[in-house]
Amino acid sequence: MPTEVLQVWRPNPVVRVFVLVGFGGLALAIAAGLLFSPGTWIGYPVLLVLVFAVLGSARRRCVLTRTEIIAQGRFVRRVIPLSEVTQVALSLGLNVWVQTRTPRFNGGDICMLRMIPASYAEMSGAPAGDAVQLIREQAQRSGATLQPLPERRVATKSTKPLVFSI
C-alpha cells in the first residue's frame, strides 16, 4: 500500500526554468560545437557535467508523508523518519532544516531542505514557515519528541559547504 503524500515542495519555478534554459542552452551549444569539430575532446566532459546539472536540478523535491520526509536533491535522496526528528526550524537564509536524534547524513544530524520555497511568491507548495509547522505537526503525530521551536531564525550547526548539500 503506497504511503499517503501530504505535501510536495519543489524549488522556485523561475530558478528551474533558468537552470533548464541556461545550462540546457549551453549544453546544446557545446553539443553543436562538438558536432562540427569532432577533434575537440575537452567538450565531451563539459557537456556531460552540464547535462547532469540540468537533469539533477529537475529532480529536486521534498515530499512529506505521514511517516517520513523524502528529500530528493540533485544527486542524493534522503529519507528521514518523522519519529527520529527532534527539531524543525528556519535558518537565517529562510531554509527549512531538520535535526534528527541520531547522525544520519554522513555523520551529521542536520539536513537542510533547500527545495522548500521561502514564500508564496515562489508558487511551489506551502512556503517555508508553513512547512515548518506542517512537518512539526506530522512529526508529533508520528511520536517524535520535538525541542521547542526557536523564537527566531537560527544559524544551523551544519558545517558542510553549500556545493555538497542537498
Q: Cβ(12)–Cβ(117) under 8 Å? A: yes
Residue 1 forms part of a structural domain: no
Which range among 71-75, 82-86, 91-95, 153-157 shows the weakest confidence by mean pLDDT?
153-157
Are 53 and 64 found together in one domain?
no
Residue 18 forms part of a structural domain: yes
- pLDDT, position 1: 40
Residue 137 forms part of a structural domain: yes
For the question of whether the overall pTM of this predicted structure is more than 0.85, the answer is no
Q: What angle do CA 17, 22, 26 make, to 5 degrees?
A: 145
**pLDDT above 60: residue 65:** yes
Residue 138 forms part of a structural domain: yes
| CA–CA gap between residue 88 and residue 12 (Å, rounded) | 21
Q: Which of 154, 8, 159 is nearest to 87 (CA)?
A: 154
Q: What angle do CA 11, 13, 14 make, to 5 degrees?
A: 115
